[in-house]
Amino acid sequence: MEIKVTVNDFEIGEFESKVISQTSQYLLQELKEPITKSVQAIIQSTINKEVQGIVEEMLTKPLQLTNQWGEPKGAPLTLKEHMVNQATKCLTEKVDDQGRTSDYERNKTRLEYYAHKVAIEAMNTTLQVEVNKAVADIRCSVDGKLKSLLEDALKKVVGIR
């Protein structure tokens, strides 16, 4: 930005006022973005520290689980311990062949069910590619052999050697 002041009819006080006004506008314009970014960074840092403290407290502070009437149930656990317990309970729960927790033929854990399902899907995908390649190779081989046999048969019928 260019500061332009003409000193014709101005008195010294007006001149000073005009210089101060334009200089301050220039400085505001030039410093606005860096100051804004700096303030935002300071605010974000403060928020991160506060949130980190709250999250850390929530994960490490023992919580008392209760039943539906608000009576304490079991020993107090941290949120992290509770999450691990729930994940373990879920993955070790017995399920049927469709992954449901029905009362009929629950013969494997949920973890075993999903591991088996993923393995089957991976094998089916890989096997399908290999089967498709084998079919294409067999077709090429059969086509070549069939062509050769037909040529030989036609030569015999026509009498060409």
Q: What pLDDT does residue 142 have?
A: 80
Based on C-alpha coordinates, what's the Rg of the chain?
40
pLDDT of residue 43: 92
| Separation of alpha carbons 143 and 126, rounded Å | 26
pTM exceeding the 0.85 threshold for the entire prediction: no
| Contact status, residue 61 vs residue 82, Cβ threshold 8 Å | no
Q: Inform me whether the pLDDT recorded for 161 exceeds 80.
A: no
Cβ atoms of residues 26 and 4 within 8 Å: no
pLDDT at 87: 92
* 63 strand-pairing partners: 77
When mean pLDDT is compared over 81-85, 136-140, 150-154, the highest value belongs to: 81-85
Give the model confidence (pLDDT) of 2-35 as tens digits.
666 555 555 666 777 777 888 888 888 888 888 8
Quote the crossing angle between the two packed helices 79-92 and 110-158, to the nearest 10°.
50
* Predicted confidence (pLDDT) per residue in 44-81, tens digit: 999 998 899 888 888 888 988 899 998 999 899 988 88
Give the C-alpha separation, 142 to 92, whole Å.
51
Asked if residue 65 lies in contact with residue 77, where contact means CB atoms within 8 angstroms, the answer is yes
DSSP state of 94: E
Q: Helix, strand, coil shares of the chain as percentages rounded to 5?
A: 70, 5, 25
DSSP conformational letter for 109? E
Please compute the mean of the pLDDT values over residues 137-160 and round it to a whole number: 79
pLDDT per residue over 92-144, tens digit each?
999 888 888 877 777 888 999 999 988 888 888 888 888 888 888 888 888 77
Kindly report which listed range (35-44, 79-88, 114-123, 140-149) carries the lowest average pLDDT score. Answer: 140-149
